[in-house]
Structure 1
Amino acid sequence: MARRTARDLRSENRFEVLHALFERGPSTRQELARHTGLSPATVATLVTEFLSGAVLHVAAVERNTGGRPQERLTINPDRGRIVGVDVAETYVDATVYDLALEGLGHGEVALDEHENDPDYVVDGIVRAIESAVQDGATEREHVIGVGVSMPGHVHPEAGVSVFAPNWDWHDVHVEKLLEESLSIPVYVDNPLKAVVLSEMWFGAGRTEDSMAVVNLGTGVGAGIAIDGALVRGTTNNAGEWGHTLLRFDGRQCRCGRRGCVEAYLGAPGLRTTLAEIDPEHPALRQRRQRDFVEAVADALATGDPAPTELAHRTARYLAAALGDLVNLLNLPHITLTGWTSDALAEWLVPAVQDELVHHVMPGSLAGLIVGPSQVPGNAVSLGMAAFTLQDFLTRLGLASPAGTRPRPDPEHGIDQSRRGQGV
């Protein structure tokens, strides 16, 4: 991968202005300068560029007594449509957004978790996108980009799924396959990066510069931000917390190792734990992972003893694994997201908070917050839409060297004006 810059979307000037508009709503140039800390001259220049590209428009003109009229600016939602797509082993979830990242339409397609052919998965992605576009009453020609999150190790600048252990994928050119089917620019990235970006823009990141966003589903992982910068690592593979060691010589993990966090906290791991507690429990009859987790949640609501013990053990596993993460990075905030978190947060979060005191060093425990994500809708899809918005601005010529990803230059290799953000 190309070398990453230390700056992220929030610390880059153009995105400081956009981020301020997402937070504040319609604002004057003076208000944007005060909110971002940028000079009035810098804000005026950037606003002029955005207006020329129709990314912003004037929402209102305010005439003050004795002063010059002030324009109140806002993001132009109708500049185009963006599709954010969350692809997991069991489903594809697609959402159509306007340029202000307001959801307009939704589509979902179930995937057979035992089917791993790339053509099968790509077909599911295309069908979910088409369903979302139809649900949002969106004209196909108004879609300016599609952001697709793929599980596993992804190289965004090449559009390649490098390694997806649950599918046994190696170097699948997902972006090329999708662009051939859609004839729309496609941006591919990893869900851990997407959830952190959505949290930074629309969740806890509004008040916290450093955090981990822990995703619980079929697999598990942690997206990380430090001092406002999205952590990608050398090859975009940072955040594979699910493949750190929880128990020496423990359960077999699908990555090939034993005792990984994912083997205990992923949905298949929860199934294994429940089978250890009560091999005949009715929830184990559910074949689909999401149906199994929902059955566990329903049983927890009735006080069923076996799922209650499952929640207790899972909270202990989760607290121990989060303790390692906090002790290593001294993070003040951990957000839980993903469909397993959504279903079980009512039982997991309080138990994890009680258990953390046994796993976190005292110097890192004070003020530590662990809680469910408050980002609206699908955090992965929203984060992918935000990445795709930056990619669109790059194509307009409005992004700086802190752009989302590099593109190959036919003469000189990587276009250095489009280096990826993050560290």
Structure 2
Amino acid sequence: MARHTARDLRSENRFEVLHALFELGPSTRQELARHTGLSPATVATLVTEFLSGGVLHIAAVERNTGGRPQERLTIDPDRGRIVGVDVAETYVDATVYDLALGALGHGEAALDEHENDPDYVVDGILRVIESAVEDGGTERERIIGVGVSMPGHVHPDTGVSVFAPNWDWHDVHIEKMLEKVLPVPVYVDNPLKAVILSEMWFGVGSVVDSMAVVNLGTGVGAGIAIDGSLLRGTTNNAGEWGHTLLELDGRQCRCGRRGCVEAYLGAPGLRTTLAEIDPEHPTLRQSRQRDFVEAVADGLAAGDPALTGLARRTSRYLAAALGDLVNLLNIPSVTLTGWTSDALAEWLVPALRDELPHHVMPGSLPGLTVEPSRVPGNAVALGMAAFTLQQFLTRLGLASPAGTRPRPDPDHGIDRSRQGQRL
């Protein structure tokens, strides 16, 4: 793995200050220094850079008796617009945000899950971005960047979709394809990294520093943060919990292995489980994954016994798989996100909580919470917007991208007060 350089630490310090402003709201330099643990001199320098780049503005000046006036700083939402895009095997979802990551406009469209041509996917992305821009009444020249989450293994520093098993993609240069048709910089990453960043900034990250966000959809995976740091791994492939083993020599997984977690908890896996319970069940006639999952939710609400059995069995699979994750990482918080989770959490979560004690070691069980994510809107799109904001700071000369391989840099001017920074 690449070593941490002075440039990386300065980038992390800058993003830490920005993160503090999202958490605290309008803040003084002293409050930012206390919240981040950075030195007052470092915060003062970074604030000056942010002000010069138009990222921050002075919201108020407070005059204290006998002391110097204090400026209360806030992010300037009108500095630009960012588009966050969530691309999955069955849909594209896009949201336009202001610079303070307030949602302004939204667009979504279904993708044919049986169509995997990259040009087809790119066309779907463009159409949904256009829809979101129109919905938000956004002037196109104000868009400063687009962040696009792609399923599977992605290299954000090269913009390449290395491997997307459900599409059978190998080394697709998706960022270059998008930049040819979009007039703004594009940043590409993996949805697991996006959802954990969203949870760190806008979810349970406000109360815990270590957590996993489990994404349930066509595929499954886990975004992971340990001690406040997003876990990427050597090649940005950390979090492929869906391709850990649930059953030796079990169901065939699209990745090529047998018995993977995804083969039981992904939407196609739920279909397989229902077929084992009741091969003639009418819900199996739903050909599209999202229609199938919605029909399962409707049937559970109506008390359908076969679908109740499906939920019970799926909760046991999920508890066993999450037990391994919790035992390995000793994390205090697991949140569920993704369109399958959104549809079925009402039935899965209570059964999951009952089942987990049978799979989690006693030392990791106290204080463990499992709940649906409370991040507003689309957590993937929001996380991609936050990553894209960082890229915008890079282009302003205010940061260096955390996802890229660092270059040699003189080791000077470093604030070493917080070396385990977020991102």
Do both proteins adopt the same fold according to a TM-score greater than 0.5, normalized to the shorter chain? yes
Structure-2 separation of matches of 1:322 and 1:11: 33
What amino acid does structure 2 have at the position aligned with 1:75?
I
Segment of structure 1 superposing worse, 330-339 or 112-121: 330-339
User: RMSD over aligned Cα, in angstroms?
Assistant: 1.9
Residues 51 and 124 (structure 1 numbering): CA distance in 2 closer, same or farther, change over 3 Å? same
CA contact (8 A) 1:6 1:229 kept: no
* Alignment partner of 1:32 is 2:16: no
Structure-1 separation of matches of 2:176 and 2:382: 22
CA contact (8 A) 1:406 1:416 kept: no
1:83 is matched with: 83
CA contact (8 A) 2:145 2:184 kept: yes
What amino acid does structure 1 have at the position aligned with 2:2?
R
1:140 is matched with: 140
Structure 2 counterparts to residues 209-224 of structure 1, below 5 A = 209-224=209-224
Segment of structure 1 superposing worse, 217-226 or 20-29: 20-29
Structure-2 separation of matches of 1:6 and 1:276: 54
1:166 is matched with: 166
Residues 333 and 174 (structure 1 numbering): CA distance in 2 closer, same or farther, change over 3 Å? same
Partner-residue secondary structure (3-state), 1:182: coil
Structure-2 separation of matches of 1:355 and 1:144: 46
Instruction: Compute the TM-score of the two structures, normalised by the length of structure 1.
Output: 0.93
What amino acid does structure 1 have at the position aligned with 2:390?
Q
1:254 is matched with: 254
CA contact (8 A) 1:84 1:148 kept: yes
Residue 63 (structure 1) shift: 2.5
Segment of structure 1 superposing worse, 277-286 or 189-198: 277-286
2:342 is matched with: 342
Q: Describe the superposition over 1:359-378 as per-residue Cα deviations: whole angstroms up to 9, x where unpaired.
A: 11111111111111010000
2:177 is matched with: 177
CA contact (8 A) 2:14 2:46 kept: yes
1:410 is matched with: none
Structure-1 separation of matches of 2:287 and 2:4: 44
2:330 is matched with: 330
Structure-2 separation of matches of 1:47 and 1:232: 28
Structure-1 separation of matches of 2:90 and 2:269: 15
What amino acid does structure 1 have at the position aligned with 2:63?
R
2:404 is matched with: 406
Q: What runs of 5+ residues in structure 1 fail to find an aligned partner?
A: 408-413
Structure 2 counterparts to residues 107-256 of structure 1, below 5 A = 107-256=107-256
What amino acid does structure 2 have at the position aligned with 1:405?
G
CA contact (8 A) 1:5 1:422 kept: no
CA contact (8 A) 1:4 1:422 kept: no
Structure-1 separation of matches of 2:260 and 2:214: 15
Identity value in percent: 84
Partner-residue secondary structure (3-state), 2:145: strand
CA contact (8 A) 2:11 2:402 kept: no
Residue 300 (structure 1) shift: 0.7
Structure-2 separation of matches of 1:305 and 1:279: 14
**Number of corresponding residues:** 411
Structure-1 separation of matches of 2:43 and 2:10: 15
CA contact (8 A) 1:406 1:415 kept: no
* Alignment partner of 1:271 is 2:271: yes
Residues 288 and 200 (structure 1 numbering): CA distance in 2 closer, same or farther, change over 3 Å? same
Structure 1's consecutive aligned runs of 4 or more residues displaced over 6 angstroms after TM superposition are 6-11
Q: Describe the superposition over 1:272-329 as per-residue Cα deviations: whole angstroms up to 9, x where unpaired.
A: 1111112222221222111111111111111111110000000000000001111111
CA contact (8 A) 2:274 2:310 kept: yes
Residues 42 and 9 (structure 1 numbering): CA distance in 2 closer, same or farther, change over 3 Å? closer
1:375 is matched with: 375
Instruction: Compute the TM-score of the two structures, normalised by the length of structure 2.
Output: 0.93
CA contact (8 A) 1:88 1:150 kept: yes
1:3 is matched with: 2
Residues 133 and 151 (structure 1 numbering): CA distance in 2 closer, same or farther, change over 3 Å? same
Residues 267 and 116 (structure 1 numbering): CA distance in 2 closer, same or farther, change over 3 Å? same
Structure-2 separation of matches of 1:20 and 1:144: 22
Residue 67 (structure 1) shift: 2.8
Instruction: Say which structure, 1 or 2, has more relative contact order (CA 8 Å, 6+ apart).
Output: 2
What amino acid does structure 2 have at the position aligned with 1:177?
M
Partner-residue secondary structure (3-state), 1:336: strand
